Structure formats: C-alpha cells, structure tokens
Amino acid sequence: MSAIASVIGHGNPVSAEPRGEPGAELKAELSAWLDLHAEALDTDSSRAADVLPQLAKAGLARVGVPDALGGSGGTIGDAILAIAAVARHSLTAAFVLWGHRTFIEYLVQSDNETLRDRWLPALLAGHVAGATGLSNAMKYLSQIEPLQMRASPSGAGWSLAGTLPWITNLRLQGFVVAAAFEHECGAPPSIFAIEHDAADVARSADLDLVAMRASNTAALSVNGTVLDDASRIASDARAFLVRVRPAFLGLQCGMSVGLAERALAEVAVASAGSRAVLAAEAADVEAQLAGQTKQLLDGVLDGTFREQPAALFELRIALAKTVEAAVALEVQASGGRGYLRGTGATGGTARRVREAAFIPVVTPSLVQLKAQLAAYYDGTAAR
C-alpha cells in the first residue's frame, strides 16, 4: 500500500470523484495528460495555459471546499492529498494547484462574502487563476522580512504600490492574486485581492526558471492601483495569516508527499537486482513518509499547527529530507538508464531530480524555516 493510501482510509480518496475505495487516485484522463506532458511542463512554457483548465476539469480546485460554496466537500486534508496525487505525475502541475487552491482557501476563510461570491465560482471552474502572493507576508509573520507592499489612503479606498518578485499561477489568460500591504497611516497591514487587469498592475515575463517552466511564475508590480473594501480579503493581515498558515504550508507539503511517493514507486518497479539491494532502505523511507503524511493531515485538521507553528516548520523540513532520500533511491535503482533522455516509463528520473531540488527553495525556504526555528527555540521569535 502506498504512503498516501495508507493514511487515507475508507471513504477519503484524493480525487474529486465520489468517495470510494481507499487510495483512489486522479481521474484517468488527467493522469494520462499529466504523464504525457510532464516533461514539457517542466522544461518549457508552451502548455502553461493548459495546466489549470486540466486540473479544474478533473474537479481538483473544488476538493476540500464546502458544498455550500460550490465545492465537492471534504476537508483541507483532502485538498493536500489531491496536490500530492498530482505531484506524483508532475510537480509543475502540483505547484500550480497549490497556488490556486491556496488562494481559494483565502476566500473560504475570508469574512468578505461579497469578494468570495464574486470570485469563487470562476476560480472553482478554472476560468480564472488564483495566485497566492503571500509568501512575503508569511515571512513577515515569522519576522524573516518586512512587507514589500505599501498602501496609502486614496478617497474611499487605498492606493497600492510595491513589487513581489516571485508569484506562481499568474496565468496570462487572467488571474487574481492576494498580496499584503503595510498601511502608511499606521493601521494594521491588510490583504487585498488584485485583478490582473486592474489599473497600474503589471506582470513581468515568465521568470527564467531552470525547471517547472509551465507554472506561470512571474513578478508582479502595482504602482498606484486604487482598491477599496470590496477587494480586501482581510483587514488584519497578521491575524488572518496565523489562521491560514497551516493551510498555506500544509498544501505546500502535499507536493513533497507526492514527489517522494512517486520516486519510491519507481524503485518498486526497478530491476529485481536493484530492488533486492535497496529494499530495506526503501521500506524505511516509505514508513517515514507514511508517518509524516499522517502527522501532516492530523496537524492541519486538529489545530496543532495553528497553535504550534514550529511543529509544521519541522515537518516541512523533514519532508524535504524524505524527498531527497526517496529520489536518491530512485537514481540508484535506475542506474545509467535513468541518466539517458526519454528512458523508463516516462523518462522522469532526471525530472524528479530537478523537482526535488526545488523543494528546499520554495518559499519559505528550508534556510528561512531553520532560522525561524532557531529563533523560536531561543525565545526571540513571535508566535
């Protein structure tokens, strides 16, 4: 049984299909599409416009969103497992789903019902891309860096200015992005939803990434964009960030879970000789992954990670190490064959090495998390 399947249990699959057998996976059509295009999604941007529609058509944007809001029900744990299931095929697609589903979570948890009613149907259907521009804000919450965006009073609203250098899912066909702003008047920082076509909003060209190039990752700048309360996700950014941080990082951890599981699955279908040599190590890593996945799901559902964010930071670091170990085993199991282009079932070993290299640097990076943990332990960090 896979690490993911072992913690799902009966009646809690990872897809948007009606609840069914343990370990139910993605719809066959989406799995086939991801496997066919995984290499291209990683190495070029030609199919960047197709990723979100494919994910949304399979119902993944609706997973964990209450039925009353147009979702398919379930919990944030189901959404984490949906991201993990996508990551087993393509980390690029999982990264897009993380950004999109995290923005949806902001609206689900926002007190601004008007904003939610305005955007949620289009987001759930994949007609517009949701982007979480709160990486800077999460680092601000942990006292890693100051907010990079500023808001000043302007009539009945605020004039917004600043630049965020790295945001995923800024889909050229249309997006809405969350960003946190420091108020020059001294009011608490707040979070706004910014439309792609709002006045004085500019998206850069795609960043020149070494991998995951179809993720619509770019910089965003606003220079005098005026928004009012109708576009404000939260009036108290700090309180809101504390509330949504477990979902932000928990959904992000789903990428690690799925990537590690896929690498271990590749070890399991390697040659008999390789399997025999690596069996004990693979079993240890798989057991470790299963335990971490259970800890992840338990922590986001029972409130542990909201009350004890350091535990979530530690788990994110531990999962990155598990990804590293799992992919290293896949490299060993594939041998020279895995070093050739286009070999194996999908030619994916080299791609998963590149994907694994991304896990430690996605914001907040492991270095930032380790620095934050050190501050927690010496009593100098805000909680």
Whole-number pLDDT of residue 363: 86
Give whole-number Cα distances, 294 to 4, 151, 218, 254, 287, in Å: 9, 41, 34, 12, 11
Which helix (H) or strand (E) segment holds residue 295: the answer is helix 272-302
Whether 337 and 343 have beta carbons less than 8 Å apart is answered as: yes
- Model confidence pTM above 0.85: yes
Whole-number pLDDT of residue 380: 64
Separation CA 263–CA 327 (nearest Å)? 5
What is the share, in percent, of the chain residues with pLDDT greater than 90?
82
* Strand, helix or coil for residue 202: strand
Domains for the chain: give ranges and CATH numbers: 3-129 (1.10.540.10), 131-237 (2.40.110.10), 238-378 (1.20.140.10)
Give whole-number Cα distances, 334 to 189, 270, 352, in Å: 50, 7, 12
The answer, yes or no, to whether residue 311 has pLDDT greater than 60, is yes
What is the share, in percent, of the chain residues with pLDDT greater than 70?
90
Q: Considering only CA atoms, which of 100, 96, 106, 91 is closest in space to residue 124?
A: 100
Separation CA 249–CA 304 (nearest Å)? 13
Which residue has better confidence, 342 or 33? Answer: 33
Residue 310 β-bridge partners: none
Whether 256 and 86 have beta carbons less than 8 Å apart is answered as: no
Confidence band for 375, pLDDT divided at 50, 70 and 90: confident
Separation CA 312–CA 320 (nearest Å)? 12
Which helix (H) or strand (E) segment holds residue 233: the answer is strand 232-234
The answer, yes or no, to whether residue 229 has pLDDT greater than 80, is yes
Give whole-number Cα distances, 344 to 30, 194, 242, 333, 334, in Å: 20, 43, 44, 11, 8
* Sign of the alpha-carbon dihedral angle for 362, 259, 66, 27: positive
Which residue has better confidence, 346 or 170? Answer: 170
Whole-number pLDDT of residue 335: 84
